[in-house]
């Protein structure tokens, strides 16, 4: 009886993908224990976050993709309305207005857009798949730029760029013309001086310190300098679990969130980095296989967009910690401490599993 119940619960889940996800999350719990100065309460809180997120993933995996696509437009509109509300009445924290308070619940609407934007774009291209023309791609870019612009004004440039990437992947996979892409790239390059003038001072400083962190070693360059020291000091085999001196001595900032990869690299070295990167690549590969096997345009675009966005998040965080990208405040997916990001990521994988499980029921 118990075995039959477990099999029924596991039926909508992709076993290989779930195994990879759990492996990364377990690694995250071990690293968090070290990065938090061996605080069991923090590890327990993250375990609860994981349990809630896995439950949500399972629930979404049980919903057929066509039902998910039906809520794409309302979800997108809700996300945009909440982003507009943030601009007016959002809570200011660390100089940015990103949160809404609803009594005892605090919501960051930009997290909602990580799911809503790829969903609405996949729905849109499916609806016009028989006659996709230039105007459809232009409107898709408008749908993409509205939330990106609102998030950038918070200001939260890092999240804005990553949400732009999540929408752009869907547009790209839908078959946007290379001429449009080249034209957009040329326009972006031409607008660089104007874009630079509209960046906040701290954002410009982050870009400058990426080129030369020693310009402000105790200010904007501090994070980059300390994280690269931690990554480099791990060597090939690392210093061993619970022996990350940079974080334990207080040199490494945000060691449980944005810079947890530096703690991992210091303790497990190059070998550990390769293992973690291999897990991320296997997750990405499995997601792309699901996208390739999907039975409709919408599900192919949605699966591809979610998968490539996950890889982008991991790449940006590792690049940021390693000093090859600016510090933009992006957590390492499935590893960094935090409930909202964990929930959003696993909801995305729940959609992937739904696409895989129900592909025989979706008309091509």
Q: Where residue 131 falls among pLDDT bands split at 50, 70, 90?
A: confident
Q: How far is CA 157 from CA 65, 96, 107, 264, 308, in A?
A: 31, 11, 18, 26, 19
User: Percent of the chain having pLDDT more than 70?
Assistant: 86
Model pLDDT for residues 8-28, shown as the tens digit of each residue: 666 778 999 999 999 999 999
| Cis preceding linkage at 251, omega within 30 | no
10 Å CB burial of residue 168 (0-12, 13-18, 19+) is buried
Range of the domain at 73: 68-199
Residue with tokens 């979404």: 60
**Does the CA dihedral 264-266-267-269 come out positive or negative?**
positive
What length is written for the chain?
364
Phi, psi dihedral angles at 97 (to 5 degrees): -105, 100
- 16, part of any domain: no
Q: How far is CA 221 from CA 205, 226, 228, 314, in A?
A: 9, 9, 11, 21
- pLDDT above 80 (res 160): yes
**Cβ pair 132, 125 in contact under 8 A:** yes
- 99, part of any domain: yes
Query: Cα–Cα distance between 56 and 79 in angstroms, integer?
Result: 19
- pLDDT above 70 (res 283): yes
- 51, part of any domain: no
- 347, part of any domain: no
Average pLDDT value for residue range 62-72: 93
Query: Cα–Cα distance between 78 and 137 in angstroms, integer?
Result: 22
Give pLDDT, residue 361: 47
Q: Tell me the CB-side half-sphere exposure of residue 8, using CA atoms within 13 A.
A: 5
Residue with tokens 């993908």: 17
Q: Where residue 1 falls among pLDDT bands split at 50, 70, 90?
A: low
Give pLDDT, residue 219: 62
- 349, part of any domain: no
Give pLDDT, residue 336: 95
Q: Say how many C-beta atoms besides its own lie within 10 A of residue 10's C-beta.
A: 13
State the total domains in the chain. 1
Write down the mean pLDDT value for the chain: 86
Higher pLDDT, 316 or 254: 316
Model pLDDT for residues 333-349, shown as the tens digit of each residue: 999 998 888 999 999 99
Phi, psi dihedral angles at 153 (to 5 degrees): -80, -10
- 100, part of any domain: yes
Average pLDDT value for residue range 209-231: 72
Beta bridge mates, 101: 106
Average pLDDT value for residue range 226-238: 89
Give pLDDT, residue 364: 42
Q: Where residue 36 falls among pLDDT bands split at 50, 70, 90?
A: very high
How large is the C-alpha radius of gyration of the chain?
Answer: 21
Residue with tokens 């607008």: 191
User: Percent of the chain having pLDDT more than 90?
Assistant: 52
- 60, part of any domain: no
Residue with tokens 């904007």: 220
Q: Which residues of 249-275 are buried (b: 16+ CB within 10 A; e: fewer)?
A: eeebebbbbbbbbbbbbbbbbeebbee
Per the confidence metrics, is the pTM higher than 0.85?
yes
- 176, part of any domain: yes
Number of alpha helices (DSSP H) and beta strands (DSSP E) in the chain: 16, 3
Residue 70's closest CA among 123, 126, 12? 123
Give pLDDT, residue 316: 93
Give pLDDT, residue 303: 96
Strand order through the sheet with 91-93: 91-93, 96-102, 105-107
- pLDDT above 90 (res 225): no
**Cβ pair 350, 356 in contact under 8 A:** no
Q: Which two tokens stand for residue 31?
A: 């690293």
């Amino acid at each position: 009886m118990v075995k039959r119940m477990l099999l029924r619960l596991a039926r909508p889940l992709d076993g290989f993908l779930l195994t990879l996800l759990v492996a990364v999350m377990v690694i995250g719990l071990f690293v968090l224990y070290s990065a938090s100065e061996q605080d069991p309460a923090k590890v327990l809180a993250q375990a609860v976050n994981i349990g809630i997120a896995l439950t949500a993933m399972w629930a979404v995996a049980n919903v057929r993709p066509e039902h998910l696509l039906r809520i794409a437009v309302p979800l997108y509109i809700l996300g945009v309305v909440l982003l507009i509300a943030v601009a007016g009445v959002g809570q200011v924290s660390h100089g940015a207005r990103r949160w809404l308070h609803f009594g005892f619940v605090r919501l960051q609407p930009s997290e909602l857009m990580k799911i809503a934007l790829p969903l609405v774009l996949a729905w849109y291209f499916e609806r016009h798949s028989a006659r996709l023309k230039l105007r459809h791609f232009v409107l898709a870019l408008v749908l993409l730029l509205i939330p990106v612009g609102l998030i950038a004004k918070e200001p939260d440039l890092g999240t804005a760029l990553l949400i732009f990437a999540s929408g752009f992947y869907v547009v790209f996979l839908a078959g946007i013309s290379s001429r449009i892409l080249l034209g957009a790239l040329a326009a972006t390059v031409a607008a660089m001086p104007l874009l630079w003038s509209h960046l906040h001072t701290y954002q410009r400083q982050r870009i400058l310190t990426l080129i030369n962190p020693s310009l402000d070693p105790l200010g904007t360059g501090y994070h980059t300098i300390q994280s690269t020291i931690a990554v480099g000091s791990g060597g090939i085999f690392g210093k061993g679990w619970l022996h990350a001196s940079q974080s334990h001595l207080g040199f490494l900032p945000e060691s449980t969130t944005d810079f947890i990869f530096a703690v991992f690299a210091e303790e497990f070295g190059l070998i550990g980095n390769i293992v973690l990167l291999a897990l991320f690549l296997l997750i990405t590969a499995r997601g792309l296989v699901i996208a390739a096997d999907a039975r409709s345009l919408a599900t192919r675009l949605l699966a591809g967009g979610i998968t490539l966005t996950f890889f982008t998040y991991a790449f940006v965080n590792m690049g940021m910690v390693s000093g090859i990208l600016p510090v933009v405040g992006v957590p390492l997916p499935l590893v960094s401490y935090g409930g909202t990001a964990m929930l959003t990521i696993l909801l995305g994988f729940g959609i992937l599993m739904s696409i895989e499980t129900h592909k025989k029921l979706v008309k091509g």
